[in-house]
Structure 1
């Protein structure tokens, strides 16, 4: 255990600024130097995604004290640019400590003379993004750890444009945070005093109504929902999160009157008691929803994560089986639906563009090409999609049409600048109703899509390691991959490597090197020799996790599955040797 970790532990343990519960928690680990080291060897990382970590006592944990510290840094930044009079918007989800962290955040801003617009109850992350723009605030904060397990929480920061804070600005916030020498000196104002002085304002219905009103303008075929929606059954689960009210409201208001909610998962539950993991990417999260769908003879299931920025879809196939669609499949279905319908109506702009991340399916490129629409690739993270909206649509001469990432995040429209499961749920329901009017299910539509463009499938494997040792192992693995310039993984031969940390693409056969033209990031992307397949290795920026993404294309579904398995097996054989 380092001296600094030990000293910080003793400071927290012995200072009465920290509440009794915190000090009792720390007392229990007094004989566990490894645990003390992990909790105190650093402050929880603050990046463009803000904070995210385990809830608990310590500088490397999410608690009211690390939340106050982050809020003080953000407040100092806002004051430094003279934007205090515009205020900040604060939202939160259903997680453990979310309401408490949101209130502490508001109290810090009030203590620094900055008006805090605090939502009256849990709200989706995309509504926070909308509210920042709607209220013309200087920034926004949402307390959420998205779809992480119940032990986690987070602190996401948004800029004045409603997008996640850009790197330059997040670095400035971090500079202000690092200037805080004594965490006990953060400025706070009592809630009642702040409300009396107008420095905390509780918001709710007015923002809800404005948000829903804007969402309805994004319907592609408004008449479809009105004509089919009365009898079209949908099963919906909010997975105990913030999507319950807004998703049901938007579906009802555009015409879907037969939405069946999974009662066991309808209400907020900070422990997510009915699921092991509140993640709509996992089929297990839909167990109760599928049971309800079977009982009610329903073709479509929609599920949103706790902060309602990601959405998962389950569709029934011709054999009556319920099949979970991947984020890539749902994204491509939406992309094809939006572009084809706009083209049919003569509403597809010549200057239109769509955006995807580098680890999102290559099938999107073929769809965009089919409709003569520019496709732009960005680094992983929806903030980069939001940046393209600002750069090319808001400040440029192009028209944003749609953006998505493989991790179940989608966005239509420009009044929200982050992935939005509320608008995505609306469009998914409308799309399913459209295909229903043609006697097709979403699964049928997916098969038609693959027949049209080719059998492209993807996979992902992630490894979560523990604590500081896990972070170091992942770092060492990435360094070795770069140092050894590995170009053959088992029998899988690489044609080109994109090293986004170096900012270059290296073609192995010719030795040619060229710029990736993207910001630097700790990502290695490998193009395979068939010219259609790839895999990508990317450490998480918020936790000791490393992800390996894959994508392959072949002439048939069975051939594609076999190719994917071959690539995965060979790549993992190398990666696992580096990690374990």
Structure 2
């Protein structure tokens, strides 16, 4: 039994103080299988898992092994890649700093330069730093918005975007050749391990601590993305914002950008301090309604206009705005993205700076309303697979070919990016532009809620719904995979009474029309099924890349908000039956 072999190998090699955790598992076969039957998968988004000892857990051994694989890949690229090195950042989760330091020491032992941030930094600053420092790669220690039991290890390429499938495959090939134990590490003088507050200081050979100099460059860069400084100057002092970092890494950069804009803000006190336990929320995810509950409560007390929340690594942003009745309403990721896209395109058009080749990018599970908004300004709208790395790839392509000028990209899961300073989601620049957008509409006598309703009245009412179907246990991933295989064998002609016009199988790489006609699609292969109804509405199903769950997405339109919501609910209800 492979899992027992792995268990015994770990039992013989872990530190003495760690053995007790493994000894306690000796008679728990289920737990042994979960921890040791499989290695933690390393994909284009890196790896992510629950903390603990074992091959299927996030711990210093799995981190060291993965970093050794990355170091081997970098060494294969040559001396220049080793000298350019790797920038390393981390969030506020348990073991994040320890994993970051471990990665730096492994890289240094391999002669690869490591640039370690002196304190927590969010995803966007890590992605930006890759380009700013000119490093060959980047590592971000984070599990994003997952529960507190998780941590993760994300890798960026030299463009600041997540690793390409080709580079990932090569890194994995090196990882698989390595054992979890005996990975070389550089020695760091314990008296110098307190890196907080340092900037551009050598910790040891091949490890340099970075700090404020990178932050300043980042803030200078995103400040150039401002589109309405005059509106901020006029209305910013009157705007009241409540912000919550949800105990994460967004606190300093988000409050810094709001301060530079001279916009008053109040931080939710219970959620201001970094805390890996995330004690005030079930999950530190701005997609979840309860994440902004404390923020809304504070905003109602203070009479604030807007509530903004960011997740632990500050790549996602959730917001709540007031309706015309004065009540707070949570905006979905689709709605926030549409508002930001509309604002950016509108202001460029008003200022006469809208490029003729302007383009926005969204994922295939993001609302179709985005296409209509882009078209209304004469901008191209491109669809990419789910995952911000594909938006990053599109940005890189636009920059290399000059075919389009990228202005905005987003996905329905609350991730947005304006500008090309980073190639991953950026909740800091999103907060800046969102606050500026509120000021702009205030200056013309319109609320943000009003503007959203105007968009619906002009382009059609849209309703989007997303749910996840979980499959528990060691075989959860296998059950999930079998569900998608079975779904492909079902000829779905109608959903909740609406006829299916075409079905797109992104794994097969083809689109099949109701007439039987087939055509190839120009997308990388991915385990996604998307059903287009007559009229353009759609339903999509895809497995999660990090958890044993299937995600169902619906985008429905109608002549009223109520009808659109009813249609979306009906479509979702029937599709659930195919996968539960």
Shorter chain as denominator, the TM-score bin is over 0.9
Displacement of 1:490:
5.8
Residue in structure 1 matched with residue 563 of structure 2 by the alignment: 559
1:279-298 superposed Cα distances (whole Å, 9 cap, x missing partner)? 11112011111111001111
Is contact 1:489–1:574 with CA below 8 Å preserved after alignment? no
Displacement of 1:458:
0.3
Displacement of 1:439:
2.9
Is contact 2:234–2:443 with CA below 8 Å preserved after alignment? no
Displacement of 1:489:
4.7
Three-state SS of the structure 2 residue aligned to 1:284 is: helix
1:59-95 superposed Cα distances (whole Å, 9 cap, x missing partner)? 0110000000110000000010011011110000001
Q: 1:222 aligns with which of 217, 220, 229?
A: 229
Instruction: Determine whether 1:42 maps to 2:48.
Output: no
1:207-262 superposed Cα distances (whole Å, 9 cap, x missing partner)? 00000010100001111112211121111111111110111111111231x11111
Q: 1:30 to 1:488 in 2, by over 3 A?
A: farther
Residue in structure 1 matched with residue 574 of structure 2 by the alignment: 570
Q: 1:186 aligns with which of 163, 183, 186?
A: 183
Q: 1:295 to 1:490 in 2, by over 3 A?
A: closer
Aligned-partner Cα distance in 2 for 1:326–1:144? 24
Unaligned runs of at least 5 residues, structure 1: none
Displacement of 1:33:
1.0
Aligned-partner Cα distance in 2 for 1:208–1:440? 34
Displacement of 1:543:
1.5
1:286-328 superposed Cα distances (whole Å, 9 cap, x missing partner)? 1111111001111111110000000001001122211000000
Q: 1:136 aligns with which of 96, 111, 134?
A: 134
Is contact 2:487–2:579 with CA below 8 Å preserved after alignment? no
Bigger mean CA offset, 22-31 vs 295-304:
22-31
Q: Superposition pairs for residues 364-403 of structure 1, below 5 Å?
A: 364-403=370-409
Is contact 2:49–2:151 with CA below 8 Å preserved after alignment? yes
Aligned-partner Cα distance in 2 for 1:467–1:163? 32
Residue in structure 2 matched with residue 518 of structure 1 by the alignment: 523
Unaligned runs of at least 5 residues, structure 2: 193-201
Displacement of 1:28:
1.6
Instruction: Determine whether 1:201 maps to 2:199.
Output: no
Displacement of 1:393:
2.2
Is contact 2:203–2:209 with CA below 8 Å preserved after alignment? no
Q: Superposition pairs for residues 407-486 of structure 1, below 5 Å?
A: 407-486=413-492
1:531-556 superposed Cα distances (whole Å, 9 cap, x missing partner)? 22111000011111110000100010
Three-state SS of the structure 2 residue aligned to 1:278 is: coil
Displacement of 1:486:
3.8
Q: 1:361 aligns with which of 349, 363, 367?
A: 367
Q: TM-score, normalised by structure 1?
A: 0.96
Displacement of 1:14:
2.3
Q: Superposition pairs for residues 156-305 of structure 1, below 5 Å?
A: 156-180=154-178, 182-192=179-189, 195=202, 197-256=204-263, 258-305=264-311
Displacement of 1:436:
1.6
Residue in structure 2 matched with residue 330 of structure 1 by the alignment: 336
Is contact 1:300–1:313 with CA below 8 Å preserved after alignment? yes
Q: 1:550 aligns with which of 554, 567, 578?
A: 554
Bigger mean CA offset, 312-321 vs 325-334:
312-321
Displacement of 1:484:
3.3
Is contact 2:465–2:554 with CA below 8 Å preserved after alignment? yes
Residue in structure 2 matched with residue 14 of structure 1 by the alignment: 12
Aligned-partner Cα distance in 2 for 1:464–1:53? 16
Instruction: Determine whether 1:153 maps to 2:151.
Output: yes
Q: TM-score, normalised by structure 2?
A: 0.96
Is contact 1:492–1:571 with CA below 8 Å preserved after alignment? no
Q: Considering only aligned residues, what root-mean-square deviation do their CA atoms show, in Å?
A: 1.3
Aligned-partner Cα distance in 1 for 2:410–2:570? 27
Is contact 1:216–1:254 with CA below 8 Å preserved after alignment? no
Bigger mean CA offset, 454-463 vs 436-445:
436-445
Three-state SS of the structure 2 residue aligned to 1:219 is: coil
Is contact 1:191–1:200 with CA below 8 Å preserved after alignment? no
Aligned-partner Cα distance in 2 for 1:297–1:213? 31
Residue in structure 1 matched with residue 94 of structure 2 by the alignment: 96
Is contact 2:284–2:291 with CA below 8 Å preserved after alignment? yes
Q: 1:435 to 1:91 in 2, by over 3 A?
A: same
